[in-house]
Structure 1
Amino acid sequence: MAFDSAGFEQADGGRYIPISEHGLIGDLRTAALVAANGTIDWYCCPRFDAPSVFASILDADAGGSWELAAEVPTRTRQFYFPDTNVLITRFFAADGVAEIQDFMPVVDDSREADRHRLIRRVVCVRGTLPFRARIAPRFGYGAEAHTTHVEGHTAVFRSPSLTLALTATAPLEADTGGLDVWSRFKLLEGESHVFALDRIGDGLPPRSCPRAEAQEQAEATVRFWRRWLAGSRYHGRWREMVNRSALLLKLLTYAPTGAIVAAPTTSLPEQIGGERNWDYRYVWVRDAAFCVYAMLRLGFTSEAEAFMAFLSERGIMRGTGQSGPLQIMYGIDGRTDLPEYELAHLEGHLGSAPVRVGNAATGQLQLDIYGALIDSVYLYDKWGQPISSDRWDEVGAVVDWLCEHWDQPDEGVWETRGGRRNFVYSRLMCWVALERAIRMANRRGLPADLTRWRESRDAIYRQIMARGWSAERGAFVQGLDGHVLDASLLMMPMAKFVSPTDPKWLSTLDALTTDLVSDSLVYRYDPTASPDGLHGPEGTFSICSFWYVEALARAGRLEEARLAFEKMLTYANHLGLFAEEIGPTGEQLGNFPQAFTHLSLISAAFNLDRALG
């Protein structure tokens, strides 16, 4: 499939930093994007899904930002302190070299965790460099007014819903408008300044951050991430990329509940200037369930256990909604109501409107989520801890419901807004739910209506083989009795529905390669052949590209798989991070960084390593 570059032009690029030119820091409660030029242009406080404080990535003028950079011409390089989520941005100038160390200390569940401290430590390592900082918060997605009070080395930004305190070792001054705070300073070799932004109020007073304390907190943050990563069992060929993906998935975990967000951002466009802009700061059952698989593969059972607790403690599997016991997504606190609305006052990244908050897809019926969830429970029961009797009762109730409801149209894995259809992938994952539940019941002798479960499982299998296979295309197809190809079907051998060397599957793989693959990059489907209710083109989907690698490897086409994998890694940004999609000239598109992409990278690396021996 050839690239269509229409609609991907990067107009007005001078005001916006490309999506890929960012790193992410966080404290397991919220996160901030730090651009390669030192600007924080996305930060929500106090949670991932809270209104933004800095959002200039979505509106360069009205969104707010925290600029921090050398005041002379420089070139910059950005990297993570090895095996951590401590981000370093280096500035190289004619007269010196300096760096900003950005991090958020990860603390326990004490009151200090509510501070959500964000530390920026500026250090001159060679020569001398002048620096300039501008702290310009715009509360409530840029819609909430605030006041600013500066006294000495402290500035307090107060809005109706949130109060932040900035403390610094450098001098601070308010601008003439009284809303923003500036700081100018010059550092000689070996000198440093520290800025710390805290949430205050509700019993949390302002607290300074002296240089020594910043150094101690930096070292403690490094120790935390390295100690966590040491639990990984992966020691294969692509250790650096897998470790970065694991650190990213952990960073997207909301520690108070064990929830895992799909991405820390909203409305970063899948097409520049287009309408495919969505809020991903929630828990997709599918994404989080696949994350559990990736974490268990790497040996991180506590994260899987935390997500299982999230499911149980919030009654997720005991729902009684119109679309069944499960919603497709939940808030990070387990809430079910995620109303979608548009922020008309924000222009969107590079003019890509609308900017959305909330997600209307929560009301969709997506039957594939049942397979993803039951498979994650099965894997946790196998590789983590045996599930409890109460949890098994929940699984049984879900599977019983599925026996009655699998044979109906839904919106599908890609959350199309063009009406319900009989998607083959949805049927496939219903089969997975039943098959894994049967395995659990048999292995542990758990009570179940196995006769009914087997009948439903086998009926799904026969339906897919009879109506999901197109003799004309020589391939399994997107919808029953259809002819359009869909990259989601790359999951068929991974789900163990078909053998990876089954002639029908190999024919499907060849057809997908011809129609949907462009130099290792994979499109989800052809929207002109299968309208999805939205306008405009989209990029290739990175999760599908990693699924393609795994499908090739399982089919024994190891040289092709390895080359495709290595090519995919070249599309990562300078820090090893991926957004959801890749555009026609290699640009990152969609919300960033994206959990789904990174968990599929982990799975592809793990299985390709094993196949290569």
Structure 2
Amino acid sequence: MKSSLDLALIGNCQVGALIDSAAEIVWYCIPRFDGDPVFCSLLQEHQAGSGHGYCSVELIDQISSEQRYEPNSAVLVTRLTDSRGAHVEIADFAPRFRQYGRMFTPMMLVRQIRRLHGSPRICIRVRPASDYGRSCCEYTYGSHHIRYVSDAATVRLTTDASITTILQELPFILDDELTLVFGADETIQEPLRELARRFRNETIAYWQNWVRDLGIPFEWQNEVIRAAITLKLNTFDDTGAIVAAMTTSIPESPDSGRNWDYRYCWLRDAYFVVNALNRLGTTHTLERYLSYLVNVVASAEGGHVQPVYGIDGRTRLEEREVPTLAGYGGMGPVRVGNQAYEQIQHDVYGSAILAVTHVFFDQRLTHRGDAALFHRLEPLGETAIQMHDQPDAGLWELRGSKRIHTFSSIMCWAACDRLAKIASRIGLTERVHYWDRQAAAIHATICARAWNEQKKAFTAAFEGDSLDASLLLMHDVGFLAADDPRFAATVAAIERELRQGDYIFRYVEHDDFGAPQNAFIVCTYWYIYALVALGRSDEARQLFENLLARHNRHGLMAEHLDVRSGEQWGNFVQTYSMVGLINAAIRLSKRWDWAF
């Protein structure tokens, strides 16, 4: 199996799995997103019938495959065809629906395998791994189940297929329908086929009802719906956290060493994620995510906030290399944990406050912001004041150098600016004046020290001359008006130096790993936002359509893109990229009342 990101995502906001075009489950962590991957062939290539860490349904003499989602759902259907014209259909999903007055989201995957035509011969291979691919799981079995024991958990496969056929991986003729349920080590009492059908119908109904309540643009509806479902699938229901991606260690470019674990919650994502959730009208997901952020803020000692947290809110994410997995396409290292939690990134204060600001202004939310929460936010603002002109690792998490990054300073300004607006909202006049003064002082400092008269642009760092794509967001966060000539000039400078073809690089200078080889996808979306603000919507639409064409067959996107081949790189599915799609589509689409 050759590594590819032409994958589909299924899940239920407790677990998630990635499935390739031949219906192999290549990635599945238990008991939650950041757990041990019992299926991990995404990071360990294998030949058919060899290796471990995957679950496949192999059709003998297969010649083609087709794959699609059930409309407006997270239920995936794969159809395989053999050389004699026999067809097999495989449906994969993780149950999610309301039951007994609460959401049912078990640690469970369901596979339904059905003969459609002819006499297909198949071989089912179930080879879970333990401890990041270190070993195969030990197993015991009974009449209708196999228990796979790993360090993370015991997974029970309950099935109406022959246990011997699965354990010995014997090919057989599929003459009807089979069901495989991977779940907790608990007995299933209900007839398996009936349970799978009921769970599938209930899960499809849940997702279609969820989509029905979305606020979507007139144009690009299918793309936005798929992005919204994906954003929801990247949400960990139990705490409200939203992971940056489902995977770890998919390199940003070939053999770059830029292999990171993204199964955590970055505060830098918060502003964009909250805006997307707000525009989509997914108020329950929005409220849960804001609750997670508020808890992070409440736990911040002395106003210090980390760049990244665990999905359970934990602060320590010690990074280690895993020698037992070769890596995506054999390109290691594979890393677990992320040392970025120790980094100093001053943009996080603005990111957190920009996101939490919604609690004070959005009338739909059940739990509204008050003076007590405002006073919890103020220490973050005080830290932003202290740090706005101090060196940090920056938005892009440079590991070998520190500078006074302009974007970090802008976000420190945003922290103070939004605190002033919140204070005005809740009637704290004295605090309005205080935070307005602080914001004005930081604004003046940035304009004096980050503007490069020779380049006619704001630069990546104070007194610098290199550029950074994050400065495309100066208008978006309110630092400069769209008609400020310095904004248009900075966009023009970024076009000259960071644009390659139809894509924007985050920067082009050398960092700890050399010069970036691929485009960071969300930067092109930021460019689209800037073009819309400047009234260049026709150009923005063309770039947007080009990005959509680069998504995989299911409309999903990773973190990076090879601008020459269009191949996707980086962790998958990337929240930043999918949120970029949502926000861009909403800005660019015709209005519903103007569309007919």
TM-score (structure 2 length as normaliser): 0.93
- Contact kept, 8 Å, 1:473 with 1:511, in 2: the verdict is yes
- Contact kept, 8 Å, 2:91 with 2:111, in 1: the verdict is yes
Deviations 1:50-86 (A, max 9, x none): 1110111111256611111311222112111110111
| Amino acid aligned to 1:293 | N
The aligned counterpart of 1:158 is 149
| Amino acid aligned to 1:102 | D
SS in 2 for 1:79: strand
| Amino acid aligned to 1:446 | L
The aligned counterpart of 1:99 is 89
Between 416-425 and 448-457, the greater mean CA deviation after superposition: 448-457
Deviations 1:459-503 (A, max 9, x none): 221122222111211211111111111111111111121122322
In 2, Cα distance between equivalents of 1:399 and 1:239: 39
- Of 464, 485, 490, 2:467 maps to 485
The aligned counterpart of 1:116 is 107
Whether 2:118 is the aligned partner of 1:132: answer no
Deviation at 1:534, TM superposition (A): 2.0
| Amino acid aligned to 2:119 | T
- Of 19, 25, 28, 2:10 maps to 25
SS in 2 for 1:504: helix
| Amino acid aligned to 2:17 | A
Distance 1:150 1:555, change over 3 A: same
Distance 1:351 1:208, change over 3 A: farther
| Amino acid aligned to 1:341 | R
Deviation at 1:207, TM superposition (A): 5.4
Deviations 1:517-567 (A, max 9, x none): 223211100133xxx212464310111111111111111111101101101
Distance 1:46 1:302, change over 3 A: same
Whether 2:70 is the aligned partner of 1:85: answer no
In 2, Cα distance between equivalents of 1:469 and 1:297: 33
| Amino acid aligned to 1:51 | D
Between 263-272 and 454-463, the greater mean CA deviation after superposition: 454-463
Distance 1:598 1:473, change over 3 A: same
In 2, Cα distance between equivalents of 1:288 and 1:121: 37
In 1, Cα distance between equivalents of 2:103 and 2:287: 25
- The percent of aligned pairs where both chains have the same amino acid is 34
Structure 2 residue runs of 5 or longer lacking an equivalent are none
- Contact kept, 8 Å, 2:420 with 2:431, in 1: the verdict is no
Deviations 1:341-399 (A, max 9, x none): 00022111112111000000101111112212211122342224331333222112221
The aligned counterpart of 2:169 is 182
| Amino acid aligned to 1:418 | G
Structure 1 residue runs of 5 or longer lacking an equivalent are 1-14
The aligned counterpart of 1:590 is 570
- Of 9, 16, 24, 2:2 maps to 16
Deviations 1:393-431 (A, max 9, x none): 211222133223322111111111122111111111111
- Contact kept, 8 Å, 1:144 with 1:159, in 2: the verdict is no
Deviations 1:497-520 (A, max 9, x none): 112232222122122112212232
| Amino acid aligned to 2:134 | A
In 1, Cα distance between equivalents of 2:490 and 2:383: 31
In 2, Cα distance between equivalents of 1:95 and 1:185: 17
TM-score (structure 1 length as normaliser): 0.90
The aligned counterpart of 2:494 is 512
- Of 502, 515, 523, 1:544 maps to 523
SS in 2 for 1:472: coil
Aligned residue runs from structure 1 range 487-502, under 5 A: 487-502=469-484
The aligned counterpart of 1:354 is 333
The aligned counterpart of 1:327 is 306
Distance 1:138 1:112, change over 3 A: farther
Between 483-492 and 366-375, the greater mean CA deviation after superposition: 366-375
- Contact kept, 8 Å, 2:449 with 2:462, in 1: the verdict is yes
- Of 312, 316, 339, 2:318 maps to 339
In 1, Cα distance between equivalents of 2:468 and 2:111: 45
The aligned counterpart of 1:226 is 208
Deviation at 1:109, TM superposition (A): 9.2
Distance 1:114 1:248, change over 3 A: closer
| Amino acid aligned to 1:608 | L
- Contact kept, 8 Å, 1:261 with 1:288, in 2: the verdict is no
- Contact kept, 8 Å, 2:217 with 2:590, in 1: the verdict is no
SS in 1 for 2:246: coil
The aligned counterpart of 1:445 is 427
In 2, Cα distance between equivalents of 1:396 and 1:183: 64
In 2, Cα distance between equivalents of 1:207 and 1:271: 48
Q: Structure 1 stretches (4+) deviating beyond 4 angstroms?
A: 107-115, 206-209, 610-613
In 2, Cα distance between equivalents of 1:606 and 1:539: 26
Distance 1:356 1:492, change over 3 A: same
Distance 1:161 1:558, change over 3 A: closer
Between 372-381 and 299-308, the greater mean CA deviation after superposition: 372-381
Question: Between Structure 1 and Structure 2, how many residues are aligned?
Answer: 583
The aligned counterpart of 1:11 is none
- Contact kept, 8 Å, 1:304 with 1:380, in 2: the verdict is no
- RMSD in angstroms over aligned alpha carbons? 2.2
Whether 2:350 is the aligned partner of 1:368: answer no
SS in 2 for 1:247: helix
